[in-house]
Amino acid sequence: MKQFSNIGILTSGGDSPGMNAAIRAIVRTSIYHQIIPYGILRGYQGMIEGEIQELKTTSVSNIIQRGGTILKTARSKEFMTKDGMEKAYQQLMKNNIQALILIGGDGTFRGAVDFFSSYKIPAIGLPGTIDNDLFGTDFTIGFDTAVNTAVNAIDKIRDTAEAHDRLFLVEVMGRDAGYIALHSGIACGAEHIFIPEQKEKLNEILSSIQDDQRRKKMTSIIVVAEGDEFGGALELQKIIAKELPQLDTRVTILGHIQRGGSPSCNDRMLASRLGHAAVEALLAGRTQEMIGIVNGKIHYTPFTSCVKLHSPLPVDLLEMIHVLAK
């Protein structure tokens, strides 16, 4: 087993519920192995600026149930430059950081690939993103919480939709990936789901809505990922209002409430398991890999694969949408 005296931990990109649970697991596993954990505030930008502080067991007390990240997060354009990376490296050397654990999404690992090709510091990544779009894991930290937040909101929207016989378009997060829309839409019995990965035949959907009205099904919920082909729920509403002006149509954009809130049990368990495994992986000599869960077991994927490949949507779920909406 490799020995480290100090390791650095950072969260980068968009926050996701469960990041704090992961930080807690990393800190306490590190201390168990007599390694001093250091928190790097505000992601790669904080690394450049030397915002690095020692974390103790008490530093992570009472955070497992909190959303967001105690280490803060930021996106750094400066880190994308050679000068920025050199500044970050010098700060790591100044603080004697011998290895890194990175919690974030696709952008976090893209930055890692570039940085670690020049500076050979051992690093392990954890998939922290609500989008669930990272290759190499069945689920990402924060996805389960975000979906449950969306489901709770859509259930409430359906109540008022039925009271007024309205068509509601509910926009959820997912600029490049439709996992939240797909899962929340199916779980809430949405009549239609729009996602970036699949083009919809709008004429058929408009005909379906008209058929519903003829069958006296006056209430409909359409779940729209923000990155769908029409440009989100507001743009889609304009098209529907033009083609079906008789419909009483409303739009609800859930926005950043999907990022916040107390993480679910599943996200706390996933984050804790991956955080513990990240420290063990470094000690075992692994590096430049993301740790995920595949079929219930710890799985390692090189950073280079994480940024080149994307997690495909399950074909059976895509087929199921149209069957269950009838």
Phi/psi of residue 86, nearest 5 degrees = -65, -40
| Residues 6 or more apart whose Cβ sits within 8 Å of residue 58 | none
Contact between 142 and 172 (Cβ < 8 Å) = no
Task: Give Cβ neighbours of residue 41 (< 8 Å, ≥ 6 apart).
Answer: 10, 51, 52, 53, 71, 72
Structure-token pair, residue 187: 């779980």
- DSSP structural state of residue 14: S
CA distance 141 to 103: 9
Say whether 131 is catalytic: yes
Give the span between the Cα atoms of 206 and 212, in whole angstroms: 10
Of the candidates 240, 255, 286, 311, the residue with the CA atom closest to the CA atom of residue 4: 286
Write down the catalytic residue from 15, 106, 131, 228: 131
Picking from 320, 234, 235, 272, the residue whose alpha carbon sits closest to that of residue 128 is 272
Contact 298, 291 (CB under 8 A): yes
Pair 97, 282: CB distance under 8 Å: no
Q: Which positions are catalytic?
A: 131
